[in-house]
Structure 1
Amino acid sequence: MSGAGGRRLVLHVDLNNTVVAADAVSGQGPRAALNTFLTTVTWGRTGTAGEWQWASDRPSLSAPCPGARSYYSRHGRDPFFTEAGPGRCFEGLHARHLQLLEWPGQPDDVFSVRGEDGKSYHLLLPAFFRLLDALHRERRLFSVIFRSFGTDLPRALRAAGCALAGQHPRFPALRDVALPVDLTPGQIRCSKREVVLTKGAERLATREDGRKLYDYFSSFEGIGGFQDHFDWWARNKFSSQGGKPLWIDPHDPSIHHIFIDDNIRLDDADTIVHPQVFSERGSSTPRRAPTSELYDVCLVQTNLLEAIADEDYFLRCVRRCEENYDRYLACAEKDTPTQQWDGQ
């Protein structure tokens, strides 16, 4: 087996509230996007009189205590969360991270986005570019596939391409990263019968062979993007069953697929990626895997606050997944059922 240092990485990366603190589809700027993220990582309970009671004054990806619910699961995503109602207690936290997001100097048509307050903010987080730079310096083999439900892929791909041409003022050394950038997004559409990928004249489907898309993504070169199937996710009540598909083969130790998305959650009834694992060597029919099996192994739940505040955040996430993946593969090699793996 090749170790993590020699294994090729295929990074599937969400955009909104993962590497982009804005949402072009809903028209949310950084202020609103950061507010909506905070509703998903703040926790409380409904009191006996129907009032909302906070269980913790600190945001966290998971519930701080039994019985706590995220604000969004009870009240929905609120773009004004810290400006009215019970979310005001997180106003200072929101303001600090919004300030960290500010673009230094004059606005940039490619790398910055105009906020609701008229200020300019980073379009793609510096932590994303830092990840590319670090992997390149370590001479790692890797590719990046943006996976978004929205229509914001062309702008993100353009920013990535310009950065790799050495045009980003903070990361000029990215010109040395020899990764091609495909500016034309593809599409992934799901149904009960199959998953279909289209990109230009290319069309691949899983109906005859469930490995086709795994092989496609495993051999993907450079940086590209695909629009996933939001309506299918909604039809499946926003559960993993209707989520963005991801294929994992623990019998192929040369490739490590990692999906990074703020909507990945340990609750399979409320998560955004549909992980499918080829349990048997050479099998063309994967099994549906629970999020818990692959959490911090092939699935990363983005903490947007940390991604804004720490440029090494995504690099640390990848490192953690690589350490856990080695152990995950060791279980598979010993013929231990991988569904018994617990990386928590």
Structure 2
Amino acid sequence: MALFPADRGIEHVESDSNQMITNIPTPLNCKRSKLIVHLDLNNTVLLSDTVTKQGPRSALSSFLTTVTWGRINQEGKWEWLSNVPSLNPPCDGAVSYYSQFGKLLDFTETTDGCLFKKIFTDHLQKMEWTDPHDELLSVTGEDGKEYHWILPAFFELIDCLSSQNREFAIVLRTFGTDLSRTLKTMQVTLSGQHPQYQHLQMKHLPLRIAPGKIRCNKKDVVLTSGSERISTRSGARALYHYFSSLEGIVGFQDHFDWWARNSYSNQGGKPFWIDPSETGIQHIFIDDNIRLNDADSIVHPQVFVEDGAGTRTVPTSELYDICLVQTDLLGAICDRRYFIKCVQQCEENYSNYTALSQL
């Protein structure tokens, strides 16, 4: 069972439990504006988390607690309001299992979570690595089986953008510590050593192996990468132009402590800038912790105002599926074109958004 919210406009996909969906890449925007795609790692590009020591089974199980919905009934017991996972509540009064009980690493083994056991096992099976173990390309799960380290849908996005000669950058952004391994895995893949993506050897993409850092405080945001240091002290445009100028694949560790000090709200989240007046470039952020509830969202979206001098913090809802995409991990596992479709829909929606902003 694949999970595609109806309001996202992605068709429901059924597939044989042993096969991932892989079809002809979806054409992207014919206007061919430059794309800067910011991507989270854990539960977006990776089905694991080094910091929390979650392997594929635990990561998928804990994700399911965030997309399954119910409530405490009058008898004080938990009852499900939907047997289908969804990114957002299926009805008024529904709360996620996670918000009530936390992220259980054995969720589908519990009395409550066993309802979703088949979804869990089907999607985990799709992530199984069938080639010989590789210390970068595969990861050993808690059950001793081998799994993909990076979701194939991520490689499909790169392949699609490259094949269509799009001008683009992939900006990996995480609070975690998996950047170095992920960037090294990309280096191996782009050198033709991934058994399923050997053709990517022909994609001569710039790749920055050393991760950078983004740190925030009340006065400014500072980005460092090697000898480069860019700050918003003189205005947010410095970082916006920096991200807009990037090419190929880079990675930055964002400031988790700042997010924590801001009660895990979007105000302390990963900084992200949008300029609706600049129609030749589009920034898109894809992260499983982007949520319509700003008090529980991970990206701080800031839109440049009309005169271009300052910015305004906007609610996630204003940019949802336009520049902000809440990762559907089940969809990303099931459909190798998932990220391509996300970008395609954002490009279509962004055209309307920029047109309205200029009225």
Task: Report the CA distance shift for 1:39/1:118 in structure 2 as closer, same or farther (over 3 A).
Answer: same
Report the Cα distance in structure 2 between the residues aligned to 1:63 and 1:309, rounded to whole angstroms. 22
Report the Cα distance in structure 2 between the residues aligned to 1:295 and 1:103, rounded to whole angstroms. 33
Q: Any residues of structure 2 matched to 1:333-344 within 5 Å, and which?
A: 333-334=358-359
Confirm or deny: 8 A CA contact 1:39 1:72 kept in the other structure. yes
Paired AA for residue 171 in structure 2: I
Q: List runs of 5+ in structure 2 lacking aligned partners.
A: 1-28
Report the Cα distance in structure 1 between the residues aligned to 2:334 and 2:276, rounded to whole angstroms. 33
Confirm or deny: 8 A CA contact 2:284 2:323 kept in the other structure. yes
For 1:314, the equivalent position in structure 2 comes to 339
TM-superposed deviation, 1:75: 1.1
For 1:14, the equivalent position in structure 2 comes to 40
Q: Any residues of structure 2 matched to 1:295-306 within 5 Å, and which?
A: 295-306=320-331
TM-superposed deviation, 1:49: 2.2
CA displacement 1:101-138 (0-9 Å, x = unmatched): 10012111221111001111001100000111111111
* TM-score, normalising length: structure 2: 0.90
Report the Cα distance in structure 1 between the residues aligned to 2:236 and 2:131, rounded to whole angstroms. 49
For 1:328, the equivalent position in structure 2 comes to 353
SS at match of 1:139: coil
Higher relative CO (Cα under 8 Å, sequence separation at least 6) belongs to 2
Give % identity.
56
Report the Cα distance in structure 1 between the residues aligned to 2:164 and 2:262, rounded to whole angstroms. 41
Report the Cα distance in structure 2 between the residues aligned to 1:131 and 1:200, rounded to whole angstroms. 27
Report the Cα distance in structure 2 between the residues aligned to 1:277 and 1:140, rounded to whole angstroms. 24
Report the Cα distance in structure 1 between the residues aligned to 2:307 and 2:173, rounded to whole angstroms. 27
SS at match of 1:66: coil
TM-superposed deviation, 1:59: 0.2
> Given the alignment, which residue of 192, 216, 222 partners 2:242?
216
> Given the alignment, which residue of 121, 137, 152 partners 2:147?
121
TM-superposed deviation, 1:172: 1.5
> Given the alignment, which residue of 266, 277, 300 partners 1:274?
300
TM-superposed deviation, 1:4: 5.4
Paired AA for residue 189 in structure 2: A
CA displacement 1:183-239 (0-9 Å, x = unmatched): 100111111111111112211111112211101100012101000011111111111
Paired AA for residue 268 in structure 1: D
For 2:52, the equivalent position in structure 1 comes to 26
CA displacement 1:5-31 (0-9 Å, x = unmatched): 310000100000001000011111000
Report the Cα distance in structure 1 between the residues aligned to 2:77 and 2:312, rounded to whole angstroms. 43
Confirm or deny: 8 A CA contact 2:131 2:195 kept in the other structure. no
Confirm or deny: 8 A CA contact 1:251 1:281 kept in the other structure. no
Confirm or deny: 8 A CA contact 1:4 1:323 kept in the other structure. no
Paired AA for residue 311 in structure 1: R
CA displacement 1:16-66 (0-9 Å, x = unmatched): 000100001111100000011000000000111221100000000011111
* TM-score, normalising length: structure 1: 0.94
Alignment RMSD (CA, Å): 1.0
Q: Any residues of structure 2 matched to 1:126-145 within 5 Å, and which?
A: 126-145=152-171
Report the Cα distance in structure 1 between the residues aligned to 2:317 and 2:203, rounded to whole angstroms. 34
Confirm or deny: 8 A CA contact 2:213 2:225 kept in the other structure. yes
Aligned length: 331
Paired AA for residue 259 in structure 2: W
For 1:151, the equivalent position in structure 2 comes to 177
Report the Cα distance in structure 1 between the residues aligned to 2:355 and 2:294, rounded to whole angstroms. 25
Q: Any residues of structure 2 matched to 1:159-178 within 5 Å, and which?
A: 159-178=185-204
Report the Cα distance in structure 1 between the residues aligned to 2:276 and 2:33, rounded to whole angstroms. 13
> Given the alignment, which residue of 94, 101, 112 partners 1:86?
112
Which of structure 1's runs of 4+ aligned residues deviate more than 3 A?
Answer: none
For 1:235, the equivalent position in structure 2 comes to 261
TM-superposed deviation, 1:259: 0.3
Report the Cα distance in structure 1 between the residues aligned to 2:31 and 2:172, rounded to whole angstroms. 23
1:244 paired to 2:270: yes
For 1:294, the equivalent position in structure 2 comes to 319
SS at match of 1:143: strand
Paired AA for residue 134 in structure 2: D
Report the Cα distance in structure 2 between the residues aligned to 1:258 and 1:161, rounded to whole angstroms. 23
For 2:25, the equivalent position in structure 1 comes to none
Q: List runs of 5+ in structure 1 lacking aligned partners.
A: 335-344
Confirm or deny: 8 A CA contact 1:115 1:121 kept in the other structure. yes
Paired AA for residue 252 in structure 2: F
TM-superposed deviation, 1:281: 4.1
